[in-house]
Amino acid sequence: MKGNKIRILDKDTINKIAAGEVIERPASVVKELVDNSIDAGATEIRIEVEKGGKRSILIRDNGCGMSRADALLAYKKHATSKLTKIEDLDKISTMGFRGEALASITAIAKVEILTRPPEEIAGTKVVIHGGKVEEISDAGTAPGTSVHVKDLFYNTPARRKYLKTDRTELAHITDTVMRLALANPGISFTLLNEGKPVLRNTGSSDLFNSMVNLLGPDTARSMLPLDYGTEEFDIRGYVSKPELNRGDSDQLFLFVNTRPVTSSTINKAVREGYYTKMPKGRYPVAVLALTLDPGEVDVNVHPRKAEVRFSREKEVGDAVISAVEKVLSEHGLAPEIRGKE
């Protein structure tokens, strides 16, 4: 073969590939936009979806909004108000920090942003289709921000084809909102599908109340409150009585510094805490919030920030085991003495 085989991809292709890393499915859009609303200090977040989010996702918040100048920067790549220098990466306290979400979503969908800081009279409307700005104008709108995402993946047909049924995509969205709502009991969340309520939490700040609203009163009643502190870690939340258990770890809700995450270390440690009290192959229900020095957690391992790593993985695991053991024994449910392993 003659000539070059290697070519540099064009900018449009590069952007679409990068977007696909952050946005896997409609639930990823919901997660990124709700993260932004939380970072904006919102106390009310409303999410409306149609066709499992494939046709439409609308997120409205009452947060700090954006000035016109910020609204014009927000959808650009690496545009963020949350990280200014590399050192900041060592102590991230916001949900976002990479300035990737809006750039990714606007590259692969038709997006309309309406935003207004509470102190300003006029708001701004920005319409972007597939990375191309279609409209920028003044617009009357309530304080806060609404982002309307239509026809996700309309310009990346291969990805669009890979999406599952509306029902499955809605289930992923529901799980995402459930986790975010349990992680932020002080924020009011509403999720509507085709105009009908799917989830609602009032934002009472009370985690038990949130569990009643989101997991149902029967589950909430079978949960034991847990509050465990060491010098480095603080672990709070609820774990189920052993008789309430599930066939998979779907109902282990884990938050690290209020960020919903998964951690195989912690999943294992929670089960380990039950030892003989948890039937083989079963998992408890748990809502656990871990607080520790942000410098001890690496949230930058995964493009979607789903899996975290701890600088002291073993110590975190041991603290979780002790926390679970302690609450079970306080309720007369202590596992039998551990054998030599």
Smallest Cα–Cα separation from 112: which of 39, 69, 58, 46? 58
Asked if 29 is part of the footprint of ligand ADP (rule: CB under 6 A), the reply reads no
Closest approach, Cβ 241 to ligand ADP, in A, equals: 39
Tokens representing 117 are 């800081």
Distance in angstroms (rounded) separating the CA atoms of residues 69 and 118: 15
Q: Which of 61, 112, 169, 296 binds ligand ADP (CB under 6 A)?
A: 61
Q: Which residues of 207-244 are buried (b: 16+ CB within 10 A; e: fewer)?
A: beebbbbbbeeebbebbbebebeeeebebbbbbbbbeb
Q: Does 36 bind ligand ADP (CB under 6 A)?
A: yes
Question: In terms of CB distance, is 79 or 334 closer to ligand ADP?
Answer: 79
Pair 54, 169: CB distance under 8 Å:
yes
Tokens 């969908």 map to which residue? Answer: 109
Considering CB distances under 5 to 8 angstroms, the limit depending on partner class, which of Mg ion, ligand ADP, none binds residue 192?
none
Is residue 20 part of the contact set for Mg ion (CB under 5 A)?
no
CA within 13 Å, CB half, 114: 13
Rounded least distance, CB 172 to ligand ADP, Å: 19
Scanning residues 74 to 113, which ones bind ligand ADP (CB under 6 A)? 74, 79-82, 96-103
Which residues touch 201 (CB under 8 Å, ≥6 apart)?
181, 185, 187, 188, 189, 210, 213, 214
Q: Binds 47, which of Mg ion, ligand ADP, none (CB < 5 to 8 A, cut-off by type)?
A: none
Q: How far is the CB of 73 from Mg ion (least distance, A)?
A: 13
Out of ligand ADP, Mg ion, none, which partner does residue 82 contact, by CB within 5 to 8 A per kind? ligand ADP
Q: Footprint of Mg ion on residues 91-120 (CB under 5 A)?
A: 96, 101
Contacting Mg ion (CB under 5 A), which of 36, 156, 176, 201? 36
Q: What is the DSSP letter of 264?
A: H
CB nearer to ligand ADP: pick between 86 and 158: 86
**Residues in the site for ligand ADP, rule: CB under 6 A?**
32, 36-37, 40, 61, 63-66, 70, 74, 79-82, 96-103, 145
